[in-house]
A and B are shown apart, each in its own frame.
Chain A
Amino acid sequence: MLRIENLSVEFGQLRAVDGVSLEVPAGSVLAVLGPSGCGKSTLLRAIAGLEPLTDGSVCFDGVDLAGVPTHRRAFAMMFQDGQLFAHLDVGANVAYPLARRGIRSGVARAEVSRLLALVGLDGYAARRPATLSGGEAQRVALARALAARPRLLLLDEPLSALDRSLRERLAEDLRRVLAETATTAMLVTHDHDEAYAVADRAAIMRAGRLVQQGPVAQVWAQPADAEVARFLGYDTVLTGAAAARVLAAAGDGTGDWVALRRDAVRLVGQGPLRGAVQSTHRGQDGLRVGVDVEGVGLLVAIGDPEASVGVGEMVALRVDHRRVALIPPSSDRPPAR
């Protein structure tokens, strides 16, 4: 189990990571989520021993890793762009950590084919990294990282360089491979979908600090504050009377602040909310209608693709409580709306 306590990293005046404490239990996958520049990559690099700590500690299975160089930590790292060694073929890349562990020749060859099969790249051993597509390169990088038999696998935005459909497919494969190999992993990403698809637990970072952590589903259901909610893909964050009206319409608890996903509000024949249509716009998930809701303000609702509504028309709206998150009142940040 990885345990980080009060970890800080400074670059000159800048405190890139500021007093972060977290744990990654054995066999689980933690996603550290945050916008670019929040210090999440620095945190990962500090855990790998690539960045000196200003303060705090990194312990694995109760052993403080201060003074243990990167190559003795047995934490493999996978980079956004693979960082395969261009002068070695795919097989030699995957065999690289095996050789470092003293495994060579026949045993290594078998292990290499097993790992390549695991990531879905059977028969790629003789290929040059330069001939691989982005997705293939990342699969090789994953196989190579797993070949190190890491106690902890560190993944730095492993899917961010790939296009959307490939990313979704690879995210699923990544989850499967990590589960099959029972690998303890820590994933750093700015993409909440990626985190949701791969990780068991999520930690949200902002400006060097940890603002929330917990099981993935729980973090999504209860964002710590408005900013986290927005970052996690919630479209709209409401407060005060507007929040109360929407919650009443959803028939779901009470709270100061409430966050709505983009498909939380639906156009219906009869509903608890009413308003005048401001704009309409056809999207892939249906008709998106901007409605000026009485006592709430502008909300975007999803309607039947066949529905025909005109600007100025009065319409009724329903709120799906499963697509709404309550933000605890302890939150000290004003909503951005």
Chain B
Amino acid sequence: MKQTVQQLPDLGLGLGLRGEHFNHILEHTPKVDWFEIISENFMDSGGRPRYVLDQIAEKYPIVMHGVSMSIGSTDDLNFEYLKRLKNLAKAINPKWISDHLCWTGVLSLNSHDLLPVVLNEESLKLITTKIKQVQDYLERPLILENPSTYLTFQQSTIPEWQFLKYMVEETNCGLLLDVNNVYVSSFNNEFDPIEYIEGLPHKSIVQMHLAGHQHNGDHIIDTHDSPVVDPVWELFSLAWERTGGTSTLLEWDGNIPDFNVCHAELLKAKNYMNGFEKQFVTPRVTVSETEIVSNPVDFMVTNVAKDFVE
């Protein structure tokens, strides 16, 4: 690999690039430090999404974030997918490429969900082998995100934070710490989110994600459709202190509000950069009565109808 994780820059505060905001960004060039794209939305596009991305990439640093690498699948890597990913990277020159510690399907099927990986020695061996293959092919470090999870396998023997640590030690990959996912997974799987963040290899955390979720009483769904809740800000504050500050990004994928609302939510992060111990946060938890979809993906299907001219 030509580049190491430690050489990757701190980009500041960024936003997930969404089609709903294309026109606003092109017209107003808002003061956002950087944008993260969903790689799959652009890697096969010869239409407007790609046309817009090319313009935005000229003005802002871009990071490519994928959902389909399926690094945790027992299927072989899809090199056709990786080829397209690499081609997009060549074209837009992202600061880094990330995906999730998850699998999306086996036996050549795709659930289009970020499914939880069994965390044991067998899976660690297979996943680290695949990470090395990807890094060799992409000629850059791969950055992997902790997913939001809703179950723990009986066969899991390694805590997720430790699995990520071993993964980093074995492959020199980077980590994308999704603070909201830590909170969601810790509630659903009953582990301590603080122990989780404390245990991570902080120097390998290249980026953090923030997002909103939906609390359903006995479980939490990672919906990315609302503001970040106080307990997640609290964890962010801890992670900020432990990492010494790193590129941070807000994801908002459902009920996407105006650009300025998303941007204002992102900028709240500045209030939580003064040290974990110094923060005073009153946890605010709102429980919802209806459940909606986890890891929403419908925003990834282009609403072509909106783009028609008569």
- A and B bind: no
Residue numbers of B with Cβ under 8 A of A are: none
